[in-house]
Amino acid sequence: MSMTDQWNALSIRIKSLVEAARMQAAFLSVNRSDAYSTSVVLRTHVGTILADTLDFSSRFESSLSEKARVSVERAKPELIRLTSNDTTTKDLIQQQAWAALVLLATFESEMSYIMADVQDALRLRSERAFAHLQRLIVVDGDFRSKWIQAFNSGEVECERHGAVHLLLHGIWAFKVSGAGAQTDLVFQERPSGIPDPERYADGLVLTEWKCAATSGDSVNKFAAARKQAQRYKAGILAGTELSRYRFAVVVTKDYVPVPDDIRVNGTTFRHVNVAVEPSKHDDISNAS
């Protein structure tokens, strides 16, 4: 199950539990006695959802945005306190359950808004496209041969092949010219007005591609790709451009170490290694 699908499932559970609490409140307004311990049941379910939410945040830690991680960490301590079993009186249990549900509903609203952020959706789609690219190279001999030829031909061919692959995932990849303007990776020119990408692409993503002959050279190539990407100053299309992230891509023969993310002036640079002759063809788990 994808990150978005798993969050959507959690969101539905939270909303359903909040609706159950409304039904309980209506019941208690008529019958003051909570003879069936419905407050305990509600509090228990909040605790279960909290545990699943923490599991969700742990499982997708590397994919969640900073805002999402902050939202989880902010809600966690109070939810843990409110779902503890220390309270025994019925009135306090009921107050705990309702307070926890209010906090949980607020958290769900905030997280759903964050998860719906088009920037994160484009980032995840881009990362899936790069993962798909590497796995195709590993398992498809013909596809691998084309990428070996592109690598031997140089950076421009790798850029073109990569841009076409990303387009299969709805991503229109671009790079920057010496003046800091946007340049098309396939045609090596800036389309006037950029009308076409809006028609067939879900988002525009800045990528910088380099080729490295050796593992040692890849360090410099990643740095050069970041430096090139930093030239880009202005956004193109607000809402469809991935402005908070840029991808520094280095194509090599075999896998090389990939640097951690680097954040510069509000922009996160993510590093991708595409290996055209990976040493372990039978193990796609090594693909970047």
The rounded distance, in Å, linking the Cα atoms of 273 and 210 is 10
65 neighbors 114 (Cβ within 8 angstroms): yes
Measured CA angle at 128 (ends 122, 132), to 5 deg? 145
H/E stretch holding 105 reads helix 90-115
Residue 171: its H or E element: strand 171-176
Whether pTM > 0.75 for this model: the answer is: no
Q: What is the mean pLDDT of residues 199-218?
A: 87
CB 187 within 8 A of CB 196: no
| Lowest-confidence segment of 76-80, 110-114, 189-193 by average pLDDT | 189-193
Please check whether the domain covering 3-115 is classified as CATH 1.10.3470: no
Per-residue pLDDT at 283 exceeds 70: no
- Break the chain into its structural domains and give their ranges: 3-115, 118-286
Residue 286 has pLDDT above 60, yes or no: no
Give the per-residue pLDDT at 237.
45
Residue 235 has pLDDT above 70, yes or no: no
How much is the pLDDT for 238? 43
Give buried/exposed letters for 19-44 (b at 16+ CB in 10 A, else e).
Answer: eebeebeeeeeeeeebeeebbbebbe
Which pLDDT band holds residue 251 (cuts at 50, 70, 90)? very high
Highest mean pLDDT, choosing among 79-83, 230-234, 249-253: 249-253
**Residue 178 above 80 pLDDT?**
no
Taking residues 56-71, what's their average pLDDT?
83
Where is pLDDT greater, at 51 or 114? 51
Per-residue pLDDT, averaged over 89-118, amounts to 85
